[in-house]
Amino acid sequence: MTNQDVVVSEMGIAAGAALPGGPAGPAGGLFACRSAAASMRQTYLDLAAAAAAARSASCTSWADAMRASSPTRSSRSASDVDEFTAWVRKHPSALSKFEEIAAKSRGKKIVMFMDYDGTLSPIVADPDTAYMSDAMRAAVREVAKTFPTAIVSGRCRDKVRNFVGLSDLYYAGSHGMDIKGPSSNPESALCQPASEFLPMIDEVYNTLVEKTKSTPGAKVENNKFCLSVHFRCVDEKRWNALGEQVKAVIKEYPKLKLTQGRKVLEIRPSIKWDKGKALEFLLESLGFANCGDVLPVYIGDDRTDEDAFKVLRKRGQGLGILVSKCPKDTNASYSLQDPTEVMEFLLRLVEWRRKSSSSSLMIRPRV
């Protein structure tokens, strides 16, 4: 409601009888009615202002939340550098602490879990062009030859598999709601806990595509069991309106929930399933559910990866590595700054395992 929406007719109210407690007689009644009308008008205006302020606060909170989930990576001030330095002390680089990680991994069966966007590929303006480099693909191929490996992404499983282009991996798409094992193993795990939501997801997708046409740069992506509304190419002044549009649509679907990632709004079924559950499912499928000598390593850059980091902390077993150039609240133990550092870490891990395996063979006593 705006001020223009509020219209109070003094003449209409004045035509009535004197209000209780007002002066008697026509003049007194008219005075009382006009006074009441003015009071009522002010009340309406106050209510309108309050409603507008509430809406403004709501929009501001939306914009603030969207900014918080999508930190900028511009030049840092001295205080920013100090903050990042303090954060790195708490979440040290997995490269600088590689020997420490190697010591924790010694004698353990490593299982690798990795997000895709922002971890194996750079974040780009157009999500359809988030290609990984040939060098990264080669590194992931070597990782998969050395350890059981899974890609856990918010993307549609088929899409992320096409991006990666490797067959001997586990792929968990839609934030872990669509899991399939290596194509070379026809009996490999398959998990789709949100199948009943497919018609609803398609319906909401069509609605959001139509609703967001008025927002230049907005892109709605159908990830099969969840949806993504990308606003990386949207003018920041339009974030409020876009957030409200999406929120209004999702309000009609109480079985869906709205969360936020890096310049993306995520719509998912309201079920108790996330990347952490996917990690647990895959460990169980691989026969490592209750193994004391397994070491899950999860590398990711997004808020949704925190569910996996939390699982590792709760298990007291495994390593969470957050990919970020900015300080973030995280349950990860270590950090890497970008996909280039991720690739370096992966190659070092493969090299270390192969060398340690060779050393074990060399010192094995003859029987």
* pLDDT score at 70: 59
pLDDT attached to residue 21: 38
For residues 114-129, give the mean pLDDT: 95
Extract the tokens encoding 260: 């936020």
- The reported pLDDT for the residue numbered 171 is 97
Find the range with the poorest average confidence among 32-41, 102-111, 136-145, 317-326: 32-41
Check whether 234 has a pLDDT greater than 60: yes
Decide if pLDDT at 14 tops 60. no
Question: For residue 323, what are the β-bridge partners?
Answer: 336
> Phi, psi at residue 44, to the nearest 5°?
-60, -40
Q: Are 180 and 189 in contact (CB under 8 A)?
A: yes
- DSSP secondary structure letter of residue 352: H
CA distance 113 to 117: 13
- Output the DSSP codes for 314-326: HHT-SEEEEE-SS
Q: How confident is the model at residue 358 (pLDDT cuts 50, 70, 90)?
A: confident
DSSP reduced 3-state for 350: helix
Q: What was the pLDDT predicted at 10? A: 31
More confidently predicted of 37 and 114: 114
What is the pLDDT at residue 216?
A: 96
**What's the whole-number mean pLDDT along residues 108-124?**
97
Residue with the larger pLDDT of the pair 144 and 31: 144
- Written as six digits, the tokens of 311 are 């699982």
Residue 115 designated active-site? yes
Residue 186 has pLDDT above 80, yes or no: no
Given the residues 64, 80, 82, 115, the one annotated as active site? 115
- What per-residue confidence (pLDDT) applies to 75? 59
φ, ψ (nearest 5 deg) of residue 333: -90, -30
More confident: 35 or 145: 145
| β-bridge pairing 190-191 and 178-180 | antiparallel
CB 163 within 8 A of CB 130: yes
pLDDT, residue 22, reads 40
How confident is the model over 128-144, as pLDDT tens digits? 999 999 999 999 999 99
pTM: 0.78
In the block, tokens 């008008």 appear at: 41
Range from 8-12, 162-166, 212-216 carrying the lowest mean pLDDT: 8-12
pLDDT confidence of 78, banded at 50, 70, 90? Answer: confident
- State the average pLDDT over residues 105-124: 96
pLDDT (0 to 100) of residue 72 = 55
> Distance between CA atoms of 317 and 320, rounded to whole angstroms?
10
Residue-wise pLDDT for 316-357, tens only, equals 999 999 999 999 999 999 999 999 999 999 999 999 999 988
